[in-house]
Structure 1
Amino acid sequence: MFCLTFVHITEEELGCFFSSTTSLEKLEVSQCDDIICLKITSHLQKLSILRVSLCRRLQMIEINAPKVSTFRRPPIKMSISNSSQLRSMAMNGQCYSGMFQYALTKLQSIASNHQTLTLLSSGEAFNFPVSPVKFLHLRNLKIHCCVMENFDFFSLVSFLKACPALESFFLPAGPHLDVRRDSIIHEYFGADLSHTRRVAEGHQDNLKRLIELTCQILESSSSLQCLVLDTTSGYDNSGICEYMERKAVMEALRGVEAIKKYIKGEVPSRVNLEVLEPCGRCHIPNLHKPGR
């Protein structure tokens, strides 16, 4: 893998480098602010993974390498000569707004055959299209909502309508969603699921919509095979847990109870439900540490 980070290099200089190599398989370009148009030439016959991020002056990406199958990028103009090869895409909208809307209206024209899509958004206008374009081949979808305290979770149903072949859906419900400031609990545990649709708008609204969204996923995604609900502050495949304060741990445990009470029984036998809970080794001990 070749990684360029904080490098003062122009697209012409980068093009000269590309012309001198044929074996490059992975390329990462990050925070290289002198690049305006990034051209990935057809000379890079073996390039399969391309990651581009935080290049402030970058306006255009052109991909002519024939085997790029995994691509991580910001929401800027781009062209792909062989978009049918692209199978996996990740789009980070932390420094932009409207990433979900962009995906539902523009992404299909760029990559029609992708099977895995990861989206991160830090702000949405909530005017999602009523009839979004279809992602007919999409199997795996991950959605991250970053610092969106008033986000309308139920608007994500638009993605369910757009992905008829969806098999795996991952929606982290960590503290960046402002979920744990609302208790799951008091208004939900005394009622059946239908009652959650009549709970008054207010502090419980985000959580109510999150539960409703989960049930809508189960009702609408006939191809769904796996559903992951993360109640922690962040899931890490490395096995190292992120720190959680005592209050966050308590709310996460209540969240697990709510999932068992209102969601688990609605999960069809064909769907593998995975609930990511606070770690008994890293998080649970915080319950015995007052003031944290």
Structure 2
Amino acid sequence: MSRTVVVTGASSGIGRAAARMFAARGDRLVLAARSPGTLAEVRDECRAAGAQVLDVPVDITVEGAPAALADAAVERFGGIDVWVHTAAVMVYGRFEETPQRVFEHVVRTDLLGAAAVARAALERFRAAGGGTLVLTGSVLGHITAPYLSAYVVSKWGLQGLTRVLQQEARETPGVHVCIVNPGSVDTPVYQRAANYLGRTGRPPLPVATPERVARAVVDCADRPRREVSVGRANVVMRVGFTALPGVYDALVGPLMRLAGLTDRPVAPHDGVVFAPDPASAAVRGGWLPDLGRVVRAVGGLPGPVLAAARKRPR
């Protein structure tokens, strides 16, 4: 049976991958993001898959925007069954070197924006007698890493908010609150991040595909769970952070500089913190090889190899 699914942050990364998966299932979609042009591209992708789609350009940090988005979804499709929230921005930089306006807007987007979305979703769910909210957190909601203070603060706050919402949802049968916590993911968020560190960021290994995280999101919509972790190293990092804090703190800085940053210099910039960049909106960030292309290339090898073998002198 098809459902009405709202996806905030649908223009790139995990949100765009999840929108495609919901569309392939025949769910009705309400897609939201800041860039009208990119959002229209995602709408067309989902319609091509056979889904009914409403696209609503919106900035969740604007007061009243999430509530207006919820009203638009109810007006078009009669209600909301699932709300998936994936919108997030990042900034790299030492805490004292990150401009206050950038730090505060990252927190406003990643934490307060998520809270506004949760408020709008839960009000509709309680009125309707049910619904599932799926928030996208991060392993950085359980651990810390240098040069990402605003993002870490936001994800720790989101983790606490989610726990409170789950406790309160116990009073309302049929209402579910889930959080999906990925580790490193191959999305454009690292290239799109604001940067005041002088070196561009990258996802440390091991890196998951956005489609893998999107499958966890869709699975939560089908079978709500309190928390889902996506990433082979997540458990190891959480155990080290909790059980061996001194060792963790001694290692995390060098490891971050080695694995979480590139050698490419970059001038200070605001990234997409304050405004979208349609040119960089995509599902993947290019940190992993295109496995489909690799398979096709490998599949095409036998012919040339056999031809070369036949030409070898005997």
TM-score (norm 1): 0.29
Decide which structure has greater strand share.
1
1 or 2 for the larger relative contact order (CA 8 Å, sep ≥6)?
2
Decide which structure has greater helix share.
2
TM-score (norm 2): 0.27
